[in-house]
Amino acid sequence: MNNYQPVIGLEIHIELKTSSKMFCQCSASYFGKSANTQVCPVCLGMPGALPVANKKAIEWTILIGKALNCQINSFSKFDRKHYFYPDLPKGYQISQHDEPIASNGWVKIAYKDQAKNALTKKIFRIRRVHLEEDTGKLIHSKNGTLIDFNRSGVPLVEIVTEPDFDNSDDVKRFLEELQVIIRYLGVSDADMEKGTMRMEPNISLRYQKSKIKNQKLPNYKVEVKNINSFRFVKQAIDYEIKRQIEILKEGKTPLQETRGFDEKKVITYSQRIKEDASDYRYFPEPDIPPLVFTKEYLDSIKVPELPWQKVERYVSLLGIRYEEAFILTRDKNLSDYFDKINTKFKTQIANLNLKIQNPSQLIANYIVNKKISSQLPPDEFINKLIENLKPKEVDKNLLEEIINKVLKENQKAVLDYKKGKVNAIMFLVGQVIREMKGKVEARIVREEIERRIKR
Amino acid sequence: MLLGKSVTEILALIKNKKISSKEVIDYFLKRIEKYNKKLNAYLTVNRSYKSDGSDKIEMPVAVKDNFCTKGIRTTASSKVLENFIPPYESTVTRRLIDASFFILGKTNMDAWAHGSSTETSDFGPTKNPWDLSRCPGGSSGGSAAAVSSYLAPAAIGSETAGSIRQPGSWSGVIGLKPTYGRVSRYGLIAMASSLDCPGPLTLTTEDAAFILKIIAGKDEFDATTAPNEVPDYVASLKKKKKFIIGITDEYLNGVDGEIKEAFYQLVEILEKLGHKIKKIKLLSPKYSISVYTIIQRAEVSSNLARYDGIRYGNNRTFFGSEAKRRIMLGTYVLSYGYYDAYYKKAQKVRTLIIEDFKKVFKEVDMILAPTTPIATLKLKEFEKYPFFGEMMDVLNEPAAIAGICAISFPFGLTKKDNLPIGLQLMGRWFEEKNILNLTYQIEKETDFLGVIKEGVKNYPD
């Protein structure tokens, strides 16, 4: 038992998949393209070139803000953030400083707590969502460093959380939920490996004197970069917590710094010491007029049903177990597929003489357990499902023969049943079904056996 | 035959087959050959013209060297861009080329447009055609000198605060600074983005109107251009409209006696023409100096950040001392903890200045004032005072800060040194039509007291 409580906040970058870049007409899809082929004077930061903001990217940022339950600000603007780096051709990044498009939101996560076997729900606050441009890419080689500007100017959404996390599992769950939300919105592939989703955790620890929660933020924080999978995020955070506890135990304060993550050694390593906050000399971007959104415009941007809302609907309205509901909703296509089948099947089932307790759960089981392939068109899926549910034609003679055989071989069970051990019959039923290779319903077998034994 | 002819006149000659485009271009190239060494108005001369044998009109025009011209070296008079050949065309030059203009050459300027004398150019100063020991004004000094000495029939300049009007005034030609957002800045190497305005320097009001009509209007590549319709500025010259013209003592404080005399002489003429003169109160232009200095330096420090030595060949040691001074001051006012005290405060005062003009423009249609407090200075006088440019532009800065339109025109010569005097009209936002209309009336009535014609005569063929 230690008295240190982790304080973790996240910065997440999402690259939008708009067709053109943030401030020019160049194609925003640069993956796999040869270097410096998707560029123009604007994204190369040439003398005299001017940015013109991409409307779609602004709309999508508002959509993300809404999906994360943020307040959408009716006034917003772009600012210049100055720093020197070879991949930043203007010497500043067009970003948003004090008037982000969205702020003060939250994301809900829910998961089955294995220990308690109960559903745990948690809320994590979103501080802000803003829009900016991506930078070029440095390519290091033996002969020197080259710059590829294909990525320069691709729209990038930055999502900043409050430091609400205290363990790496919650961070991982949150990121997975966020990724699913972004994919539902269809605004980005949010792929960690391809770098269309990037994240940097800020980690520090605070001393917990008593049970009363210490709310003060620690006087330092460590940022970890270069993490390209959810698994590595967890590993990096766990490593950092251990490392920082060691330092704190010695009575020292960990350095305020940026660290990288080495996925082979599963350690973090120092990259850059940050003595003070960087001075980015922010000021309003004079080349782009401020953004003013009307209520009508903001209202016209509609958020689709989100994964956590679907889970809640499946569980409470359709009576599906949480586990299946969760799996079904991880992929929008899969849950849409489920929704389609669920609606259709219910209309068809009325005409069939089938007794099904919860058709939605049944479909969910079939999809999740892959009893029927979800690659099939919905109609074919339903046909197969109905086929599976129809009462099976039973070979009466074979059944008779097998029941006789089973009863003969299990005299003890028969006796037990006769003595009043009701459960013994289930053993006999099971034996018969096994011999019949499942081609008979338990109900029929049971009735048949009961009839015999009584007689 | 061509000496002193305006763009409109030359175009009529070409259209009527009195002369070919080739002959016109050759004529100006010959004059450049003859006089440019002395004046240093052009940094780059475009000798690439080849007639294709057709009647295609190609009307020569000079362009300040901070407009990107595809395939023609563009330096902004800085060694940092000494070898920069833009791969793209600025909107202003694109529109000119589309309207049958031919870029005759790129004109000298203060490096990065930092200055009011063209002496901060890394390629040597431009001389004032009226007196070679004096400066032509700046930063569009090369453009003003080229027109004044008839090395071009017209030129494009750019103004951040006075850089068209002030050299226009000191070199004795017309300089039009349009409303901010009227003309696209795309491809104009940025000085202070929230103030920069391209505009023409010409021999006649009609040419100024003609060129403005071509270059003005919404540009999909510049988000700060206004969607306002572009009127036919030339057609609207013809009707002699009557205006209410404001004058104010705030703009006459510290102004040279001879310039004041010219000012009152014009006031009398305007009254005689039936216009109404009204005394107004405006905020002292001195407030604009502080606001302008802070905003401009801040934006300069940001806009020059891209010249980091990685691209364009020459590194940061190639920056001249004026650019370095501005980068340092701009960096300082944007620094953490100082932003609110300087930049934010300056923006607030800027709003007050705009409100002040709005109030005044409810009473009057335009404001008449001198363009500069004194006539042109001897070369090297600027070097003694880092902020001398601001002082010389004191009468230009309020209009720049407010983003309104203004036009400077010559009005007589000083008796002592025989140097051009410039007066200006400042109009409401997007009412270039009105200031052009009145300037045209003044031109018809007074011929600008003969200044422009006399200037050209100093440079015979």
Q: For residue A298, give how far its alpha carbon lies from the nearest alpha carbon of chain B (Å).
A: 21
Average pLDDT over residues A420-442: 82
- B56 is known as an active-site residue: no
How many CB pairs below 8 A link A and B? Answer: 97
Q: Which of B206, B201, B200, B275 is nearest to B235 (CA)?
A: B206
User: Which of A110-114, A242-246, B142-146 bottoms out in mean pLDDT, i.e. has the lowest?
Assistant: A110-114
Alpha carbon of B454 to those of A70, A238, B277, B447: distances in Å?
A: 68, 83, 30, 11
**Bridge partners of residue A32, in order along the sequence:** none
Q: Which of B173, B178, B112 is nearest to B144 (CA)?
A: B173
Chain A nearest-CA residue for B68: A48
Name the burial class of residue B116, with classes exposed (0-12), middle (13-18) and buried (19+) by CB atoms within 10 angstroms of its CB.
buried
The interaxial angle of helices B432-446 and B205-215, nearest 10 deg, is 160
- Across the interface, whether the CB atoms of B86 and A48 are under 8 A apart is answered yes
pLDDT at A70: 98
Q: How does the average pLDDT of chain A come out, rounded?
A: 91
Let me know: does B9 contact B16? Beta carbons within 8 Å: no
Q: Among partner residues B68, B298, B308, which is closest to A47 by beta-carbon distance?
A: B68
Cis peptide before B193 (omega within 30 of 0): no
pLDDT at A1: 43
A94 chain-B contacts, CB cut-off 8 A: none
Report the complex ipTM: 0.95
User: Which of A32-46, A69-83, B372-386 bottoms out in mean pLDDT, i.e. has the lowest?
Assistant: B372-386
Let me know: does A25 contact A56? Beta carbons within 8 Å: no
What is the Cα–Cα distance from B89 to B108, expressed in whole angstroms?
19
Name the burial class of residue A423, with classes exposed (0-12), middle (13-18) and buried (19+) by CB atoms within 10 angstroms of its CB.
exposed
pLDDT tens, per residue, chain B with 461 residues: 899 999 999 999 999 999 999 999 999 999 999 999 999 999 999 999 998 888 899 999 999 999 999 999 999 999 999 999 999 999 999 999 999 999 999 999 999 999 999 999 999 999 999 999 999 999 999 999 999 999 999 999 999 999 999 999 999 999 999 999 999 999 999 999 999 999 999 999 999 999 999 999 999 999 999 999 999 999 999 999 999 999 999 999 889 999 999 999 999 999 999 999 999 999 988 899 999 999 999 999 999 999 999 999 899 999 999 999 999 999 999 998 899 899 999 999 999 999 999 999 999 999 999 999 999 999 988 777 666 666 778 889 999 999 999 999 999 999 999 999 999 999 999 999 999 999 999 999 999 999 999 999 999 99
Residue burial B292-308, b: 16+ Cβ < 10 Å; e: rest: bbbbbbbbbbbbbbbbb
What fold, for A396-454? Arc Repressor Mutant, subunit A (1.10.10)
Instruction: Quick: pLDDT tens for A266-300.
Output: 999 999 886 566 689 999 999 999 999 999 999 99
Give the torsion sign (CA, B125, B129, B131, B135): negative
pLDDT at residue A455 tops 60: no
What is the architecture of the domain spanning B7-457?
Alpha-Beta Complex (3.90)
Coil, strand, or helix at residue B448? helix
- B416 is known as an active-site residue: no
DSSP labels, A400-434 = HHHHHHHHHHTHHHHHHHHTT-TTHHHHHHHHHHH
What is the Cα–Cα distance from A110 to A122, expressed in whole angstroms?
6
What is the Cα–Cα distance from A227 to A215, expressed in whole angstroms?
28
Q: Which tokens sit at A79?
A: 């600012």
Q: Among partner residues A45, A47, A90, which is closest to B81 by beta-carbon distance?
A: A47
Q: Which tokens sit at A338?
A: 């489920």
pLDDT at A450: 84
Which residues, other chains included, contact B457 with Cβ-Cβ below 8 Å and sequence gap of 6+?
Answer: B4
What is the Cα–Cα distance from B305 to B65, expressed in whole angstroms?
19
Which residues, other chains included, contact B243 with Cβ-Cβ below 8 Å and sequence gap of 6+?
Answer: B275, B276, B364, B365, B366, B434, B437, B438
Alpha carbon of B373 to those of A149, B174, B362, B391: distances in Å?
A: 49, 17, 27, 9
What is the Cα–Cα distance from B73 to A130, expressed in whole angstroms?
39
Catalytic residue among B5, B6, B64, B140: B64
Residue A208: pLDDT band with limits 50, 70, 90: confident
pLDDT at residue A403 tops 60: yes
Q: Which tokens sit at B3?
A: 């000496």
pLDDT at A421: 83
- B163 is known as an active-site residue: yes
Q: For residue A52, give how far its alpha carbon lies from the nearest alpha carbon of chain B (Å).
A: 6
Residues of B at the A interface, defined by Cβ within 8 angstroms: 66-68, 74, 76, 81, 84, 86-88, 90, 185-190, 192-194, 220-224, 298-299, 301-302, 304-308, 310-311, 331, 334-336, 339, 343
Name the burial class of residue A182, with classes exposed (0-12), middle (13-18) and buried (19+) by CB atoms within 10 angstroms of its CB.
buried
Q: For residue A57, give how far its alpha carbon lies from the nearest alpha carbon of chain B (Å).
A: 16
Strands, sheet with A92-95, edge to edge from the N-terminal-most edge strand: A92-95, A79-82, A283-284
**Bridge partners of residue A75, in order along the sequence:** A292
Average pLDDT over residues A331-354: 87
Q: Among partner residues B187, B223, B308, which is closest to A52 by beta-carbon distance?
A: B223
Q: Which of A233, A212, A215, A213 is nearest to A224 (CA)?
A: A233
A49 chain-B contacts, CB cut-off 8 A: 88, 186-187
Q: Among partner residues A48, A90, A277, which is closest to B305 by beta-carbon distance?
A: A90
Phi, psi of B378 (to 5 degrees): -70, 150
User: Which of A33-37, A114-118, A306-310, A427-431 bottoms out in mean pLDDT, i.e. has the lowest?
Assistant: A114-118
Residue A159: pLDDT band with limits 50, 70, 90: very high
Give the torsion sign (CA, B73, B75, B81, B86): negative
Let me know: does B370 contact B140? Beta carbons within 8 Å: no
Q: For residue B176, give how far its alpha carbon lies from the nearest alpha carbon of chain A (Å).
A: 21
- Across the interface, whether the CB atoms of A48 and B66 are under 8 A apart is answered yes
pLDDT at A122: 95
Q: Among partner residues B221, B310, B331, which is closest to A281 by beta-carbon distance?
A: B331
Which residues, other chains included, contact A417 with Cβ-Cβ below 8 Å and sequence gap of 6+?
Answer: A424, A425, A428, A453
Catalytic residue among B139, B140, B169, B408: B139
Average pLDDT over residues A179-202: 96
Residues of chain A with CATH 1.10.10.410: 396-454
B88 chain-A contacts, CB cut-off 8 A: 40-41, 46, 49
Average pLDDT over residues A192-209: 92
Residues of A at the B interface, defined by Cβ within 8 angstroms: 40-41, 45-53, 80, 82, 84, 86, 89-92, 147, 277, 279, 281-283, 286-289
Catalytic residue among B121, B163, B169, B408: B163
The residue among A44, A46, A98 with the most chain B CBs within 10 A of its CB, best to mutate, is A46
**Bridge partners of residue A132, in order along the sequence:** A156
What is the Cα–Cα distance from B189 to B299, expressed in whole angstroms?
12
B189 chain-A contacts, CB cut-off 8 A: 47-48
B314 chain-A contacts, CB cut-off 8 A: none
Let me know: does B323 contact B289? Beta carbons within 8 Å: no
Q: Which of A415, A454, A413, A418 is nearest to A430 (CA)?
A: A413
pLDDT at A2: 66
Q: What is the CA radius of gyration of chain B?
A: 20
Q: For residue B313, give how far its alpha carbon lies from the nearest alpha carbon of chain A (Å).
A: 13
**Bridge partners of residue B64, in order along the sequence:** B107
Polymer length of chain B? 461
What is the Cα–Cα distance from B409 to B147, expressed in whole angstroms?
13
Q: Which tokens sit at A309?
A: 């809302």
Chain B nearest-CA residue for A25: B221
A20 chain-B contacts, CB cut-off 8 A: none
DSSP labels, A304-340 = PPPHHHHHHHHHHTT---HHHHHHHTTSHHHHHHHHH
